[in-house]
Homo-oligomer: A and B are copies of this chain.
């Protein structure tokens, strides 16, 4: 048994407590936050460690509302099937649902924010003043993506082929709150110019618009997926609560089970 080594200090600005007081973000949780701060407001504050303005909170909550649910998606089904198998562990069902929050379905918000931020960094200062100049930046960014064989994130939607109804509403909210900034502006320019590069007209989708709006709140791209996960947690709880009341998990399983084709490994046509 040797002497313990000294360990480093662990700095945090999130929370601490003593017998009489709980401190969160430097505030007195009970006296200053509970009943006075909304949950969306607190979530944004926790991530940035800066108190958001009411305008920022309104845009932020509109984004969370826009992203909370998309019906019986693969991630909602994963949560419901996990709840079916392990009803004693609600946290496991929520976690299983969140684990689908990766590149394909939940990544658009983050990818769009990053794409726009990169394009703005590339364009440099000062920011242009008229639409024509924004269109030029957009065109350069889309052409660069095309040349690199990359997708332009935030374009297109499997259901909303012409207009994603969330897009104009979110842009209008951002404008009304004075938070329509460079990222949303560039995103709209991409909406105008992409047909001349891609050869077809795609809608600006809601998840991408959310990424642009969050970026205009000053949030870095690395954090955007986290907000999509927070929004989705509310949706997953809705699905789990509905599964408790009117379950479909067993029927999903049986629908698959009754339609399995068992192929002997040899005959399996693996390309």
Contacts and interface: CB of A to CB of B under 8 A. Distances in A.
Contact of A35 (B14, B62, B259): B62
Contact of A29 (B66, B103, B271): B66
A87 B102 contact: yes
Interface in A95-133: 95-96, 98-106
A6 B8 CA distance: 10
A99 B96 contact: yes
A155 interface: no
A255 B7 contact: yes
Contact of A12 (B40, B161, B263): B263
A253 B91 contact: no
A249 to B, nearest CB: 7
B86 A91 contact: yes
A26 B72 contact: no
Given A86-B99, A258-B5, A259-B5, A162 B19 contact: yes
Per assembly, the copies of the chain total: 4
B102 A34 contact: no
A128 B154 CA distance: 47
Contact of A98 (B46, B98, B240): B98
Interface in A56-76: 58, 61-62, 64-66, 68-75
Contacts of A26: 264-266
A183 interface: no
Interface string A159-196: 11111011011100100000000000000000000000
A259 B4 contact: yes
Interface residues of A, number: 137
A234 B41 CA distance: 10
A170 B241 contact: no
Q: Which 10 A-B pairs have the closest CB atoms?
A: A86-B102, A46-B238, A85-B100, A39-B40, A92-B99, A43-B234, A95-B95, A30-B165, A7-B255, A91-B101
B227 A237 contact: yes
A77 interface: yes
A87 B88 CA distance: 12
A78 to B, nearest CB: 4
Nearest to A163: B20
A252 B256 contact: yes
B35 A235 contact: no
